[in-house]
Chains A and B, each alone.
Chain A
Amino acid sequence: MIRTLLWLLGGAMLGGIIHLVVILTLPALAEDTIWTRIAALKAQNKMVILPQVVPGEPNPLGLDPDVAYGVCQIDLNAGPAYLSGIMPDAFWSVALFNKQGIITYSTTNRDGIGQTLEMGIFNADQTRLLAQQQLDIAEGLLVVESVDDDIFVLVRLAPPHQAMRQRFEDELAKVKCGIKTPAPAPA
């Protein structure tokens, strides 16, 4: 009897180890990830408006039907990125995601930035260069450092009424997003 209990205890301990291995390795082993889903939207360096949630239809990204979404995928290896536009007068927020779907930065228009969305996104090396140049940062410009080079930006915009949704989505689509290429050297 005691021997059987010891075997059961061993099984429980082994189960605990399996549990830890599953939890820790799951993010690396998953094939259908948020990154593959976003990549399928072909939103490299441009703002893509996500289709509205329709009752009865699949909603793999877990979108809110009352919110408009714009997504832009960026590779900071190609240079620092920017996000620029004027948003409609309603609640909006912006979030930076890495490949694992972890949000590395987020803010909302309630943080005092009003309707202006001006954001510069830099990796660690680019941030260091920016600091060395000691440039004046324009008022209202959000400077964000990203640990990862492969990221995507998600802008949420909440129209007060669904009748305004199309107009709000059109405004959101006008937001410019992409890599800031260096100006050509003077001849």
Chain B
Amino acid sequence: MRFVIHLLLLVTVALGIGFGLSYYALTDGRLFGAAVVGPWIAWPDVGTAAPNPYTRGHLTRTAGLQLGLSEGLQFTATTDSAGDTLSLACTYRIAGKTPLATFWTLVALDADGVNLARPGEDAAMRSNAIARAHDGAILIYVGKQLAPQNWLELTGTGNFRLVLTLYDTAVFSGFGTGGETMPSIQREGCA
């Protein structure tokens, strides 16, 4: 009887670790090839001709059109800078500087990749269409509640993620302005 219990324990632990670790590696991935800058996560290897096995798995799982190494890099945030999950019930303030790039776009997506912008409004916020501070820093409000200045107006309920796509960027290349800085995501308030 003890042998059977031990065997069940072994199988449970093996399946839990095996599949659980695989799921984690291909979603969050921060221990397995993804780069983390504050709340933002990117897969720097995704546009290379010889990605590592974890990035290959990520590519297979997303089955999307990734950016090549010279085209740009995509960052995703599922939490704010405090580590709390992004929720459509709240308004967020994205502030700071972005890495050097020809231009960038910011979109909000649900878990299935559906764009959450309010129908009739811009589906994405773009770097050349926002008001900036004198030092070039950005200040963008994201959420359903009316906000001043640059506002990415969303709709829906539940959690969401932010995707910041940098085109023609020098991030992680060593040619940037030093230190890969990304804007912070601060929660303003919740309805």
Contacts and interface: CB of A to CB of B under 8 A. Distances in A.
Nearest to B3: A7
Interface residues of A, number: 60
A22 interface: yes
Majority DSSP secondary structure for residues of A touching B? mixed
Given A11-B11, A15-B21, A19-B17, A103 B69 contact: yes
Contacts of B10: 7-8, 10-11, 14
Given A18-B18, A63-B65, A108-B70, A56 B115 contact: yes
Interface stretch (A30-38, A129-137, A175-183): A30-38
Nearest to A24: B53
A77 interface: no
B49 A105 contact: yes
A107 interface: yes
A135 B113 CA distance: 47
> Of A19, A63, A93, A95, which is in contact with the most chain B CB atoms at under 10 Å from its CB?
A19
A4 B124 CA distance: 54
Interface stretch (A78-86, A118-126, A154-162): A154-162
A184 B19 CA distance: 57
Nearest to B47: A103
A11 B59 contact: no
A21 B68 CA distance: 27
A107 B70 contact: yes
B123 A110 contact: no
B63 A65 contact: no
B60 A33 contact: yes
Given A8-B10, A11-B10, A22-B22, A54 B16 contact: no
A101 interface: yes
A4 B18 contact: no
A16 B20 CA distance: 10
A7 B6 contact: yes
Contacts of B103: 91, 158
A69 B65 contact: yes
